[in-house]
Every structure is written in structure tokens, then in C-alpha cells.
Structure 1
Amino acid sequence: MPRFFNTAGPSDPGRHYTLPILARLPRVRRLLDQQHYAVLHAPRQSGKTTTLLHLARELTATGSHVAALLSLDHGAPRSSDLGATELSLLDAWSRATAISLPPDLQPPPWSNVTSAPSAPSAPSASEAPAGSRISAALRAWAEAAPRPLVLFLDDMDALRDDVLLPILRQLRAGYPTRPAHFPHALLLSGLRDVRDARDVRGIVSSDGRPGAAHPFSIKAESITLRDFTREEVAALYAQHTAETGQAFLPEAIDRAFHLTQGQPWLVNALARQLTEELCPDPAKPITRAHVEEAKEILLLRRDPHLDSLMSKLEEPRVRVILEPMLAGSMLGSVAEDDVRHALDLGLVRMDPEGGLTVANPIYRESIVRALTFTRRASLPHLPATWLTPEGRLDKEALLHAFLDFWRQHGDPLLAAAPYPDVAPHLVLMAFLHRVVNGASLDREYAMGRGRMGLCVRAHDETLAIEIKVWRPDQKTDPLPEGLQQLDTYLASLGLDTGWLVLFDRRPSAPPLAERLSAAPLTTPGGRRITVIRT
């Protein structure tokens, strides 16, 4: 069977188009050779399990080590009971190593091993007290193994902290006895860094946050998997071209990289949609337009990868990051741990030019669609008065439709918005999503700019919209600043006209019926625009 782009489970180079697996973890072999214990953390579906599975097989095949990938996920169903979790993990690890390792390298049966050969009466791993069974088993395996034992413990996030922490303590306690009596080297892998696990019995700070006692002080370092570069995306897609003859045009590769920023699952998901659904004929080259179509399908379908991320939007730790980003304001007194949590999820990244930004345009669009879904579902039927008989966008008619919509439905929809600080933005975007069906709606937002930019593209028409909010703590009208910002935004798009929408959120603002208006104005750069006050 020909190879294909993988979007589910670990990648197998024999079945899937796959980049050189260890290229994104150049330091890991050195860490293992130096007998280190370390942490590998990266967002979901970024290649952690694929990398560790490959590395375990490679180390074992070379004859230098006994290496195995063991999942902590098997302990999740019993994660409130430490003893039951340990037994569940040991049982699952026995079954996993029976498949992945030859008999002479497999761990001794847990029921037949003792925690210390010098203590014949010591309990077996399965009989040891809760809180010591993992260390007893790993000690027995390290002592029985004919080669240095290297372990990769995957899915760290599956365990609750009150169970994960005792397991970490067992690893820490056995660490000084390595390599003769404990694993030679070990990698803990998961979504978050182990620093985010906190001892529930530890100190609590004055703001109620758990204390900062480090649960895994033996780690040499925390490493992560970077996303693909543009060159790596091109190389991955080139494997398909080499095997099928189907070309990805340079414009398609550029667009795919821009939309995904190299996030591995997104890169593969776009390519799979392109090669299996949109362009299954290998004689048909893949263009930028095809990539745009594939992006829309992914956004509408919202596969588990995107669904899992979007389920985090209501978490308080995520909301305190994304709400100011949408509003264009600063983070303020957000805790460092909350920023790191959002980074570990993969929702945001540090922009090379400084500051946080959403990780990629597909996530950016997914976030807004998820936050506006209920608002869009709540909208009444809107007659398409903004379309000409030829189906083109009539900007003046769209303006009147928006004013009528806001007059009738603005306040109730604002009251129900999930992120109150950006409620006007979300309701306006819900309206635009409804009316630009079949067109594109691009967004530009980032912290510290005090604005959000929207760009509606329908047929040959382009409408740029700048959103500003007159907040209760602002003494002066944001109009002058908004005009300057809209000038800059229009210049970047090569446009001479646009909308500036000013939402007045002050308690002292006049009633909606009095303040809702639209008027032409000229920007400092000489562009004729429409100022909408609501």
C-alpha cells in the first residue's frame, strides 16, 4: 500500500510520509548517554510518541541498551487510588514489553521479583506497599537487564498530581542507585513540563496558589519539540511528490506553512485532505486555492485535535491569556504559570518580534469560531440585502444591515458573550460570519495594540474593519487613535476605504438608540472611511 499523510497515532516511516525523526531532538542522545533523567514536553500531536517509540527501537536494535516506551495513560482510570494505579501500570507495562522486546530483555515478572536482592524476604513489586511498587519493579528490571535500561514514560498528563507526585518521588529516590539498580536514563513525556505538578501537601502562597516545591529535582533539563520549518514542510510534501508525481506548487507550500506555522498535525491534516479528498488525481497539481479550501474543511469539521484545544477556552488559566489578546490589551498581572500553561497547550507562542501571539492562523480562526458559535446560532434569519443581483458585496447595504442588526439584537447578544471584555468583537464577528458565507474573514489581533483588525473578502470586494472599544477607564475618545490605526491597516492591505467601529462600553454612554450612528470621515492619511459608533 502506498504511504500517506498520518493524522492519528504514532507515525510509521514504512506507512506514512515522515521526516527524519530525531532531527527535532538533537540533544536527546547526549542526555541518555550521560545517564540523565529529563522531561520532554510539547503540545498534543506534535510527534512526542513517534519520536520516543523510534528512539526506543533504535537503542534496543543497536545492542547498546534495553529501551522501552511505557505509557502512564493506563493508570488514568484509577488515578485517584495510588496503589491501584501502580498495579494497573505494571500490568500494562508487562503486556507492552512482551510485544516490544525479546524475551531476554523483558522485565522479570513483577510477582516474582523482590525490591532488593539483599533482602530475600522483601515483598515483590506487586506486594510492596502502595507508593513503592513502581520503584521496586524498576529496580528489579535494571538489575536483571543484560544492558543499561533506558525508559521513556509517556502520557504524563494522564495522571492526577496526587498520584503523579508519589511516582516522581519513587523515581527521585531510586535515581542515586542508577545504573546498576535503577534505570540508566529516563525521559518523562507529556503536554506540560513537570514543574507544573505541585505537591498538594506543600505550602500555599498568599494568593492561594500551590507552593513551588519542585517535584522532580533530579531532571537534567526540560526539552521540547519545535514545529516544522518551511523547508521541512516542503521536504515532507516532496515525499508525496516523489512517490506519486503529484506536485505541491511553491505557492501551496508557502500557504500551508503560513496557515499552520509548521504545527505537525495541521501540516499532515492539510496534506491528507488535499491528496485524498480535494485532489486525489496525482496528475493535478496542488495550488494555494486548494490549500485554502482544505483549511476551511478542517475548520468546519473540527477534528479531535482542534476540538481538544477549543475545549480549553473556558479554562480560567486560558481565558486570562486569550481575552486580552482578542481585545488587543496587555496581560496585566497574569501569573507566569498561566502563560506557560497556554504555551504548553500550544495555543499561543512567543512572537520572534516580542510578545505572545496565537500559535498559527488556523488556531486563531478556530478560537474565534468556537467563541462565536452560540452567538451565530442565536442570530435570526437575516435577508441577504447586502448582495447585489450579481451576487457581489454591496458595502453600503451591508452597513445598513449591520446597524439594523445591532439596534435589534446587540444588547442581548453582548450580555451572553463568553468573554465579556471582548463581547462587542465576538458579536460583530458572529454577524460577519453569517453574512459573508462563501467569502473569507481574516482577523489580526495581538496583545498591546488596543485594536482588532478584520478583513472581509467576497468575490472582488475587500472590506477592512478596525475595532476599537471606549472602555470605562478611558477618559478620552479613542477615535483619533483608531483613525491612525485604520490608516496603517488599510495601507498594509492596499486599500483606500474601510470601517472604524467604535464600541462605547462606558456606563455613562448615551442609550444605544442615541449613539448608534455611521458617518463618513477622512483619516490622517487622506483615506475616506466610515466611522460607526455603537
Structure 2
Amino acid sequence: MNKRFNTTGVCIPHLHYMVDITDKLVKIEAMVNRGDYFVINRPRQYGKTTTMYMLEQKLKDDYLVLSISFEGLGDLIFEEEKIFSKKILKVFADSIQLDYEEYCAKLYEMAEEISDLNGVSKAITKFSKLINKDMVLFIDEVDKSSNNQLFMSFLGMLRNKFLLRQQGKDKTFHSVILAGVYDIKNLKLKIRQDDEKKYNSPWNIAVNFNVDMSFNCDEISTMLKKYCEDKNVLINIKEISEKIHFYTSGYPFLVSRICQIIDESQLVWNEDNINKAVKELLQENNTLFDDLVKNIENNNEFKEYLFDLIINGTERTFNIHNPLINLGTVFGYLKNLDGRVKISNRIFEQMLYNYFSSKLENKTDMSTYNFKENFIIENGLDFEKILLRFQQFIKEQYSNIDSKFIEREGRLLFLAFIKPIINGVGFDFKEVQISEEKRLDIVITYLSHKYVVELKILRGIEYHKKGLKQLKDYLDNQGLDKGYLLVYNFNKDKEYIKERVNFEGKEIFVVYV
């Protein structure tokens, strides 16, 4: 059977090209062997289910693994304690029926005699004594049930059994692993409606899960190596792995999706085609991007926070106790980089740029200024003309607008302005450089040409010289001799001018708006 890259559901080694996650599994297995209870809490499509599957295969010789999920069971199971108590043992039984038919039958037999969670607790103890292996319990998609009182009570029962086991007073699961987006160990459990101390944590016995589940360059290389061996193709694995990591920061779904696009489109594995794959990825509908848009549309404060972070380059100190930072981290959109808040990967950055610029396009008519055919030359773009036309657009349409609006929206206006010009042929990549100038570097590829334009706010002569030096270094990095500088000047007596600067061997075309 031919292997393929997979981005839906669990990855299976003999069916799919997979990153070698042995090092991660070894660390998680050590936690299981210690008897830890923990939560694998990572963002959506981050490889949680695949990791659980691979871990089960690794553990099943030494442990009896019960791997369950409440997804797809419906709401009936949570209607009353009696129904839940009987059903949960049957769910346990179903998870082992293929390998342990006798144990499966025993759990079904026990289920008929149970009417409450206390009965479930006793059944777990009885079953633990019956089998000749330690038991490990996996519960996937735990978020689906974490708002349900019965499920929280069930976790509280497992917690109590764990504490009793430590005292030598009970026998229960050796280890319990929950998987979901949220770390539910801090959720609250209502003990009794008439109890003054109504809340207690059902999962405060869980240890922290600190295993890095993102893929580094070397791990991405393991998947590409298997692909090359199977397809009998020769690619620069190190270079391709680094470029994929550059865009994804190792986010598992994004890594696999880029590879999947290149493979299924039968593209040559090179940098240009990785750019094409990223562009295609950003234009498609998928649940990861749908969730991103939904999560920011439903939270205006979070939306404004992201806007200031990536469009305006506002510098933020990372503090996980800040609700907005914590929310962004849980969803996988934000990360801690040297104590500062950063968007977690460049594809999410691009996605957010596209989202914000499209929202602005809906409110601003630029069609008489940015008509695509006006800027196309043989095999490329007349980029100087693009900048001068944008200057005219700002002068004619926004000269009387409050400067605070332009300072906030100005760079986004340029992103929206250039999008229709390069759409369908070009690719633009943006990156905020957080410094005194809060620069926004944009690299645009159009056919075989590459254009680097830096957007910045004028903050004095010394900062301007520093900006030229930074642009020069960026041009060196891109292997280019010419660059473009778009300067936003908010002085009252500003002039809409242009100039051509030769700086340390680089030609830089500067436009002021």
C-alpha cells in the first residue's frame, strides 16, 4: 500500500509518512512508568491523538491500556448518574474487546450491577485485582465533556482513588492520561449543592506536561527521509526541513499539510514550491483556520490585542496570567520568545495579516488606484510605480483623516492595497521587527522576481539611518541589491516626497506618506 501524508485523524506508521517522535514518546512513557496522572493539553491538530495512539502501541506489552473518547457518544450518557456509571464500564470494555475478550465480558457483567459512581469505583478496584497487569487509562478529546458535572465527578472519583492508592488503601489505574486543548486540572468540581465549600479541583493531582510536541528541523527531516526512500527521489532534506520549519515553527498539522500539498500537486521539492504550498494553504478552508477566525471574531478584546501585536508591532511582556495571553497560548496562536509575546508561527501571522487586510478592504475602495494591469511589466512588477500610486491614494483619500487612524491602520492599508496586484501570481510574506521603529518587512515574490519593502514610522534622523542599515542587512539576507522603503510621516508639515538612496552598495527607493 502506498503511503501518503495525512492531515485528518490519527496517523498510522504503515499508512502515512510520519515524523519520528520516539524522543517524545520516551519522555511520556517515563511519566506513565512513574504512575503520573497528567493532561496532554495542546492546541487543535497538534498531534495529540496520534501521540496517544503511538504511546498505546508502546505500552500495551507491559500494561493493559484502556483508550477511550467521549466524542460521538452523545448526550444521553450524561443525563443521570446511573446511565453514566453503567455506560462508562461498557466504554472501558469496548476499548479492549479485540485483545482481551474475557476481560471485556467481565466488565460488561460488572456494569449490570452498577447504579452510581461509587459502584464504578468498586468495579475498578475489583477489576484491577482480577488482571495480571497494571492498567493505564487514556481519555481523548476530554474538552468535549469538561463542562459536564457527571464527567467532573468521575474525574474526582479517579483522583480520590489515586490518593488512596498512594496510601496503600486502594487499587486503581497506574496512570491516567487526558488529552485536550485545555489543561483541565484547574477546573472546579461542585461537590454538593448545599455545601458551603462548593468547589474543589477534580484533577489537582495531575503533574505538569512539559514535553515539546512541536517538530524541530531534525524531526521533520526524519519524515522527508522516509518519503525520499519510498519515492526514490533526491531532495535537499536539510534545506527543505529548515524552510518548512521557518514557516510553521513545527506545528504538526501545518508541517504535514505543506508536505501533502507538494506531494499531491507533484511539485519539485524546492524553496519556490514551498512558498507556493504555503500560499495555497493560506487560501484554503480548514478547521484550524476556521477556529482562528471564530475565536477572534467572538472576542473583540483578543482581536484588538492581536492587531496591535502584529500590525502595529506593539511590544508585550509575556505573562501567562494575563487572560488574553493565556487564551492565545492555549489556542496555539501565541508563544513566549525571550520573555516577549510573539505569534507562534509565520503561517498564523500571514493568516492574521490576510484576515485584517480583507476586513479593511471591505471598508475602503481602492479599485481606481490599484488596478493590477497598471503595474505589470515584463516578467515582474513596476514596484516604484506601486509605491507612488499608494502615496497618491493616501494623499487624496486620507490627508484629512486623523493621524492616529493612519498610524494604526496605515500599514494595513498598504497590505490591502497590494493584495489585488499580486493576487493569483505573487506571494507576500510579512514579518514585524519589534524595535524602536516597529518595522514591518514585506518580501514579495512575483514570477521569478523578489521585492523587499520595509514599512516604518518616521521617528527622527538617527532611527531613519538605523532603518536603512536594517533594510540593507535584510536585502543581504535575501540576496538582493535593491529595496524599497515606505515611511509614514505624521508631522503636520509633512511632504509627500520620494527619494533614491544609495546605502552601503544598495539602491533604496524611499516614498513618504
Say whether the fold is shared (TM-score over 0.5): yes
Aligned to 1:68: 66
Q: Which residue of structure 2 aligns with residue 390 of structure 1?
A: 378
User: Could you say which residue in structure 1 is the equivalent of 2:213?
Assistant: 226
Equivalences for residues 304-343 of structure 1 within 5 A: 304-314=287-297, 315=299, 318-319=302-303, 321-326=305-310, 327-331=312-316, 335-343=321-329
Deviation at 1:488, TM superposition (A): 1.2
Q: CA deviation at 1:340?
A: 3.3
Q: 1:20–1:492: structure 2 CA closer, same or farther, 3 Å change rule? A: closer
Shift of 1:231: 1.5
Cα displacement (A) at 1:134: 6.0
Instruction: Tell me the secondary structure at the aligned position of residue 219 of structure 1.
Output: coil
Q: 1:149 aligns with which of 116, 125, 135?
A: 135
Whole-Å Cα distance in 2 between the matches of residues 414 and 145 of structure 1? 75
* 1:465–1:500 contact (8 Å) kept in structure 2: yes
Question: Does residue 19 in structure 1 map to residue 19 in structure 2?
Answer: yes
Q: Offset at 1:198?
A: 4.8
In the alignment, the residues of structure 2 paired with residue 323 and residue 532 of structure 1 have an alpha-carbon distance, to the nearest angstrom, of: 23
> Map of 1:444-455 to 2, 5 A cutoff?
444-445=431-432, 450-455=438-443
Give the residue type in structure 1 aligned to 2:387: L
Q: 1:170: how far off?
A: 2.2
Instruction: State the alpha-carbon separation in 1 of the partners of residues 323 and 69 from structure 2.
Output: 26
| Separation in structure 2 between the aligned mates of residue 422 and residue 80 of structure 1, nearest angstrom | 49
> How many Å separate the matches in 1 of 2:402 and 2:26?
50
Return the offset for 1:332: 6.3
Q: Hey, what's the Cα distance between the residues in 1 that align with 2:489 and 2:340?
A: 26
Question: How many Å separate the matches in 1 of 2:73 and 2:212?
Answer: 25
SS of the equivalent of 2:289 reads helix
User: Structure 1: 5+ residue runs without aligned partners?
Assistant: 115-123, 203-210, 280-284, 471-476
Matches for 1:67-86 after TM superposition, within 5 Å: 67-74=65-72, 77=75, 83=81, 86=84
CA separation of 1:424 and 1:94: change in aligned 2, threshold 3 A: same
- What CA distance in whole angstroms lies between the structure 1 residues aligned with 2:245 and 2:318? 34
Distance in 2 between residues matched to 1:482 and 1:81, nearest whole Å:
66
Residue equivalent to 1:366: 351
Indicate the residue corresponding to 1:104 in structure 2: 102
**Aligned residue number for residue 512 of structure 2:** 532
Identical pairs, percent: 16
Cα distance in 2 for residues equivalent to 1:294 and 1:428: 24
Map of 2:195 onto structure 1: none
C-alpha deviation, 1:500, in angstroms: 3.2
Displacement of 1:479 after TM fit? 6.8
Return the offset for 1:67: 0.5
Indicate if the aligned counterparts of 2:4 and 2:15 stay in contact, CA closer than 8 A: yes
Cα distance change, pair 456–486 in 1 and its aligned pair in 2 (3 A): farther
TM-score by length of 2: 0.81
CA deviations 1:287-341 (Å, max 9, x no partner) are 2222221111111113223333343233357436523321222326974343233
| In 1: Cα distance, 2:97 partner to 2:154 partner | 24
Distance in 2 (CA, whole Å) between partners of 1:103 and 1:412 is 78
Q: Which of residues 456, 460, 464 is equivalent to 1:467?
A: 456
Distance change (3 Å), C-alpha of 1:196 and 1:102: same
Structure 1 residue 99 displacement after superposition: 4.8
TM-score (norm 1): 0.78
> Which residue does 1:247 correspond to in 2?
234
Task: Report deviation, 1:7.
Answer: 1.0
1:491 aligns with 2:463: no
Shift of 1:69: 1.5
- CA distance 1:342–1:372, change in 2 (3 Å): same
Deviation at 1:466, TM superposition (A): 1.8
Q: How many Å apart are 1:430 and its aligned residue? A: 1.4
Q: Residues of 1 paired with 2:317 and 2:39: CA distance? A: 30
Listed as ranges, the matches of 1:107-506 within 5 Å are 108-109=106-107, 112-113=110-111, 124-125=113-114, 127-128=115-116, 135=121, 138-139=124-125, 141-161=127-147, 163=149, 165-178=152-165, 181-195=171-185, 197-198=187-188, 214-250=201-237, 251-279=239-267, 285-314=268-297, 315=299, 318-319=302-303, 321-326=305-310, 327-331=312-316, 335-351=321-337, 353-376=338-361, 379=365, 381=367, 382-384=370-372, 386-390=374-378, 392-407=380-395, 422-437=408-423, 438-445=425-432, 450-458=438-446, 459-460=448-449, 462-468=451-457, 481-494=463-476, 495=481, 497-502=483-488, 504=490
Contact 1:139 1:182 in 2 (8 A): yes
Aligned partners of 2:428 and 2:57: how far apart in 1? 46
Q: Which amino acid aligns with 1:324?
A: D
Cα deviation 1:88-111 (Å, max 9, x = unaligned):
962872574155542133374467
Question: Which residue of structure 2 lines up, in the alignment, with residue 33 of structure 1?
Answer: 33
The alpha-carbon deviation at position 361 of structure 1 amounts to: 1.8
Say whether the 8 Å CA contact 2:315–2:340 is kept in structure 1. Answer: no
Q: 1:340, 1:448 → 2: CA distance? A: 24
Distance, in Å, in 2 between the alignment partners of 1:410 and 1:154 is 53
**Shift in alpha-carbon separation, 1:407–1:89, aligned structure 2, 3 A:** farther
Amino acid at match of 1:257: H
Counterpart amino acid of residue 35 in structure 2: Q
Distance in 1 between residues matched to 2:80 and 2:128, nearest whole Å: 23
Q: 1:108 to 1:490 in 2, by over 3 A?
A: farther
SS at match of 2:497: strand
SS of the residue aligned with 2:296? coil
- Kept after mapping to 2: 8 A contact 1:73/1:158: yes
Distance in 1 between residues matched to 2:502 and 2:371, nearest whole Å? 32
Call closer, same or farther: CA 1:320–1:403 in 2, change over 3 Å.
Answer: closer
- Residue 118 (structure 1) aligns with: none
Question: Aligned partners of 2:74 and 2:461: how far apart in 1?
Answer: 54
Give secondary structure in 2 for the equivalent of 1:223: coil
Give me the whole-angstrom Cα distance separating, in 1, the residues matched to 2:176 and 2:46.
Answer: 20
Asked whether the 8 Å contact 1:413–1:427 carries over to 2, the reply is: no
**Secondary structure, counterpart of 2:208 in structure 1:** strand
Residues 239 and 142 of structure 1: is their aligned pair in 2 closer, same or farther, counting only changes over 3 Å? Answer: same
1:488-517: CA deviations, max 9, x gaps? 13332235542233264xxxx86xxx8673
1:236 shift after superposition: 0.6
Q: Could you list the runs of 5+ residues in structure 2 that have no partner in the other structure?
A: 193-197
**Which letter does structure 1 place at the counterpart of 2:163?**
P
Partners of 2:191 and 2:391 lie apart in 1 by 56
Q: Which residue of 1 aligns with 2:51?
A: 51
1:135 Cα deviation after fit:
4.4
